[in-house]
A and B are shown apart, each in its own frame.
Chain A
Amino acid sequence: DGGITQSPKYLFRKEGQNVTLSCEQNLNHDAMYWYRQDPGQGLRLIYYSQIVNDFQKGDIAEGYSVSREKKESFPLTVTSAQKNPTAFYLCASSPPAGEQYFGPGTRLTVT
């Protein structure tokens, strides 16, 4: 089946630890995205990548890092510098400037 997978579904970490969220797609899309959603809010763009080995900051990139070594994969690291990391994280992919498709999300809780 073609689609986007994110793992894990739920993630719990202690404050001060870095954590990496996985996102994989087999849709052959060039572009990939990471969004953050807080309770009762819309989605905010963290990072996006138009092509392998290239990525740009979105609106709320501070405290996050990404890599794009393969077309299929776009992992997101939430670093200890992120002041309020507890949130729902959604990954998406699209053809260039086209319709975005989303993965099921990862719920991160940091205590």
Chain B
Amino acid sequence: GEDVEQSLFLSVREGDSSVINCTYTDSSSTYLYWYKQEPGAGLQLLTYIFSNMDMKQDQRLTVLLNKKDKHLSLRIADTQTGDSAIYFCAEKYNQGGKLIFGQGTELSVKP
């Protein structure tokens, strides 16, 4: 079955690193994604990783993929108050265009 799981909340201090974790079930996923949702808005793509990669870095963002354990993480370096949002992990399921999202992790950044 399709399932993407995340922890619901994370609180960090400004300037610290944040690590948001996600587990998924579909081993045939080709792409895995991180989306960000700010209050009252739709989701926006932050970054993605192809399933044959272990790591992808994009400025303050680092994505790590452990395909054996079906574990994905997003690290935000030097977290800022503007990073406060809900972060969703998603997988592209099987061969189609279907995107399955986790429940979202609410990141709270304290000054």
Our verdict on whether A and B bind, yes or no, reads no
